[in-house]
A and B are shown apart, each in its own frame.
Chain A
């Protein structure tokens, strides 16, 4: 039985990253979908950037910001003695950034698909903005949000470049499945590589099939 530690680590990192990305993505998506403010298109572009940039470039940015001498990393290090570099939390950070745009884009489309008339009706019926969001906007956007979340999870699981830059490739600590496959192939351990690749493929195909189903049912209803 091959060592499956990288797989569990990958799942843990991807799960944490998806939760984080979800929170930020929903907030920014709601903001950009519901308000027309100065610089909105620019903000959207910046938030989508991780989708098109090479992961290593992203990783470099993350080091600049979160590294021991980075803008935020330096502050964290000075005040709390914490550094995210070469830890699994650092890997979460990298995975969050690479998966964020997928969630953000789906969430924005989902929110824009919710007619503002429903929100207005809810206001007239006595709801404040918080209740409008949780009782109307979020439930009506749920399908799109869920589809985006699954895509983001799949992307977070598969990240290589950004994670390598920020968290390194430390066996048992920050070595994710994607890196374990790379190492296994380098070392000629094809049994381990095959196992990891097979599991990753099955998980990703499952996620994509479920996402497609959600999306098509979303179109049929409403």
Chain B
């Protein structure tokens, strides 16, 4: 699975100006975009999903061009066929779990077809949320909400699943379990994942390709396969250590007063 991103986007609000210049590509099915908050990583996956339009550049997912300003290609979000997991899941509060999951299948204005209903039932069983069908999102626990959101994102079999800080809303016990579940989902549905995070533990689990963002730029792209030959021991620790170091440094930089020390 090939993901190619090379985009420019400027955000302006009052006197504050943010420039995103993101260029990276990944051949792996597990990609982590790592960076401090405000480094432009969220904006980047929003651009991949079609929620924001870059000023120029190119986005290619698995051979399909989703955006290319020179060719005049800009598919609307609804036609991109990507899955997206929002940070706080964005489950529709007025719909039950069943209706949320069946949402993308509904083409007309009325009830789902029997086939589609069957499909909803199956995916709910796969995510072990069959018993929650009639509940509303407000009645669910954090882990249940995430499963429902994943089931909803996966039911149309997206070509890629984008996850925006997927575990930040969970406590640490649950976080570990949901990471393992997400890996399982990746196996079962054979869907490539792009995970945005500022948590080094996510880098360890999902970072076959690690893209490090800082101040709207891609600072570094590294692939586990390339850097991690069998004899290079402890590459995980290295990646994690480096990620942690980056996090602390980038975090610290943000608080250095303008005048300097």
CB distance from B194 to the nearest CB of A (A): 14
Residues of chain B in range 30-87 having any CB-CB distance to chain A below 8 Å: 49-51, 76-78, 80, 82-84, 86
Q: What is the interface of chain B mostly: helix, strand, loop, or mixed? A: loop
In-complex Cβ contact of A123 among B77, B86, B88 (8 A): B77
Are the CB atoms of A118 and B92 closer together than 8 Å? yes
Residues of chain B in range 138-159 having any CB-CB distance to chain A below 8 Å: 138, 152, 156
**Best-buried of A122, A125, A126 by chain B (most CB within 10 Å):** A125
The yes or no answer to B251 lying at the interface (CB within 8 A) is no
CA distance A124 to B50 in the complex (A): 8
Are the CB atoms of A118 and B76 closer together than 8 Å? no
Render A153-180 as a binary contact track against B, CB cut-off 8 A, 1 for contact. Answer: 0000000000000000000000000000
The yes or no answer to A140 lying at the interface (CB within 8 A) is yes
- The closest CB in chain B to the CB of A127 belongs to B78
- The closest CB in chain A to the CB of B156 belongs to A126
CA distance A128 to B156 in the complex (A): 16
CA distance A161 to B13 in the complex (A): 45
CB distance from A50 to the nearest CB of B (A): 32
In-complex Cβ contact of B51 among A124, A136, A139, A222 (8 A): A124
CA distance A139 to B93 in the complex (A): 10
The yes or no answer to B169 lying at the interface (CB within 8 A) is no
In-complex Cβ contact of A118 among B82, B90, B104, B152 (8 A): B90
Q: How many residue pairs between the two chains, A and B, have CB atoms under 8 Å in the bound complex?
A: 52
Number of residues in B with C-beta < 8 Å to the partner? 22
Are the CB atoms of B78 and A121 closer together than 8 Å? no
Are the CB atoms of A122 and B50 closer together than 8 Å? no
- The closest CB in chain B to the CB of A121 belongs to B90
The yes or no answer to B235 lying at the interface (CB within 8 A) is no
CB distance from B193 to the nearest CB of A (A): 16
Known: A123-B51, A124-B50. A136 touches B82 (CB 8 A): no
CB distance from B29 to the nearest CB of A (A): 20
Selected A-B contacts with CB under 8 Å, 20 pairs: A115-B90, A118-B92, A120-B77, A121-B84, A121-B92, A123-B51, A123-B77, A124-B50, A124-B78, A124-B82, A124-B84, A125-B78, A125-B104, A125-B152, A126-B156, A127-B78, A136-B92, A140-B92, A140-B94, A221-B138
Residues of chain A having any CB pair with chain B under 8 Å: 115, 117-118, 120-128, 134-136, 139-140, 221-222
| Beyond A117-B88, A124-B78, A128-B78, 18 additional pairs, beta carbon < 8 A | A118-B90, A120-B86, A121-B90, A123-B50, A123-B51, A123-B78, A124-B49, A124-B82, A125-B104, A125-B152, A126-B78, A126-B104, A126-B156, A127-B78, A139-B94, A140-B92, A140-B93, A222-B93
